[in-house]
Amino acid sequence: MEAQANLLLQLYGESRGRAAEYWGPSHVELDRRVQLNGAPERAKQWYDAQNPTFRTYLDAFARGINDFAQTHPDKVGAEYRALLPVTGVDVIGHSLRAVHYGYMGSSERLRREVAAFQSANAPASAAAKLMASLDNFRIPVIRPRSIANSYRRLHGGPVNNRGRVKDKDCDVPIRAD
């Protein structure tokens, strides 16, 4: 946090869909995409869907950010203090925006894929209409899973023969779909 406080807070502000409110009109397009896709509401839903123990981890992480900002105000730019306090919902919201809307569902990636399809398969007029409609495109998102389970699957957490994480604090089914 010490070296990247402003960047971290900027990313969380962008994930709230309120960056233009904090830092000006150059962020309106990003806010529009984040709000259009319901990312802030979905972050709250995903936070609420977490195991209570895992929610305490998310809240503790957010509390650490807030504590740092309070004890080291010289390390946090004035323009970034406006979005404090950070919450566990912000932690989930950033991951949601960065992965689902930033990488998997980015407008640029979508435009590249449509352009590739256009050149290979589609008549130019149909592709042109599709490209023109991308500004109003709503990105479908997979249904939420327990972030704890996804984390453990990616980072080698043990799973028992019933598809459950072997963890006394987090015994949540892992779906294989």
The model's confidence at residue 9, banded by pLDDT at 50, 70 and 90, is very high
Residue type (1 letter), 116: A
How confident is the model at residue 121, as a pLDDT? 55
Looking at residues 66-94, what average pLDDT do you find? 94
pTM of the model: 0.60
Question: Domain 1-104 has what CATH class?
Answer: mainly alpha
Stretch 92-105: mean pLDDT: 77
pLDDT above 90 covers a percentage of the chain that reads 45
User: Which tens digits make up the pLDDT trace of 134-162?
Assistant: 555 554 444 444 444 554 455 455 544 44
Please compute the mean of the pLDDT values over residues 109-123 and round it to a whole number.
Answer: 63
Q: What is the pLDDT of residue 174?
A: 46
DSSP symbols for 47-110: HHTS-HHHHHHHHHHHHHHHHHHHH-GGGS-HHHHTTPSP-HHHHHHHHIIIIIIIITT-HHHH
Q: Where are the domains of the chain?
A: 1-104, 106-141, 145-177
**Which phi and psi angles does 121 have, rounded to 5°?**
-130, -35
> pLDDT value at position 126?
57
Exposure of 130 in the CB half-sphere (CA atoms within 13 A): 16
| % of residues, the chain, pLDDT over 70 | 55
The residue among 100 and 147 whose pLDDT is bigger is 100
Nearest by Cα to 29 from 101, 115, 89: 101
Query: Predicted confidence band at 30 (pLDDT cuts at 50, 70, 90)?
Result: confident
